[in-house]
Amino acid sequence: MSKRTLKWNEKKIEQFIKEGRGQGEGKDYKPWLVVQDFPTMGVATRILGKTTGRVHHFFSNTQLKYFYLLEWEDNVIDIREHYPLLDLEESLSDMSDLNLEKFRDKESKVDYILSTTFLITVLDSNGNKKYAARSIKYASELKKKITLEKLEIERRYWTEAKGIDWGIVTNKEINDIRVKNIEWLHPVMISKNQNGLENNELKDLCEGLLYRLNESRNSVRQTIIQYEQDYSLDKGIGIFLFKYLLANKIVLVDMDKPINLNCSFKELCRHRREVEN
């Protein structure tokens, strides 16, 4: 549990619910906890999401890294962070063996509203919605009794009461190289202005770059620089185009290996498809 900088009582719960926290889906969802609730936490991050089109709130680097992994998956259609277990007492029939006093404000004697880091909506192979809940922790946290007790509450809530797949993800289970690759592409993934290029212009330039890359024996970096010079493009447009090809999975690379622009295109590329409008 993070140390709270806000006073926790029944009035605060009512305020959160009135604000719509923990409610809605997609762009309309509001997380139960936001970075403004913890003004002293230096690791807090706000980031715009591609999947939802809204700003997400995270309180650790591991939470952010897992978010990037979710953003890359095509079958993920909604990501709700800090999802509150508002109906916990109604959902769990027997909590006699759970020490809920540990999750209670010492001054107000009001129980904290526990939350799970992510509630994820995915589409299965038949196009049906399914849900998965994930609790994100540093591996070192799993040595703490209070952390394990909270996770047990979450497990019972999701698996036993809700019938939803739940699991724990730690920093040791996250591929940092994959995360860094997605982080590098993410600004293009969420960009709407396409670097000022019209759709037809963007398509033509991407097709031209793809042809150059496929025919060139030089490195990707050298080919991009030459392409910019030949077409009198502003510096940086070539890198944007290459990122666009990767971000939209027109060009596929091994995301679990560093994207090395000093390699040739044939060394880097696994597969490519036609550029679409």
Two structure tokens written together for 260: 């090395």
Provide the mean pLDDT of the chain: 93
CB 91 within 8 A of CB 156: no
**17-41 pLDDT per residue, tens:** 999 999 999 999 999 999 988 765 5
3-state secondary structure of 83: strand
What pLDDT, on a 0 to 100 scale, did the predictor assign at position 40? 54
Instruction: Place 101 in a pLDDT band, splitting at 50, 70 and 90.
Output: confident
CB 132 within 8 A of CB 169: no
Domains defined along the chain, listed by start: 10-173 (3.40.1350.10), 176-272 (1.10.10.10)
Judged against a pLDDT cut of 80, whether residue 252 lies above it is answered with yes
3-state secondary structure of 4: coil
Two structure tokens written together for 101: 């006093």
The pTM of this model reads 0.93
What pLDDT, on a 0 to 100 scale, did the predictor assign at position 272? 65
Instruction: Report how far residue 197's alpha carbon sits from residue 250's, in angstroms, rounded to the nearest whole number.
Output: 18
What pLDDT, on a 0 to 100 scale, did the predictor assign at position 2? 44
Instruction: Place 79 in a pLDDT band, splitting at 50, 70 and 90.
Output: very high
**147-172 pLDDT per residue, tens:** 999 999 999 999 999 999 999 999 99
Tell which residue, 61, 25, 22, has the closest CA to residue 45: 61
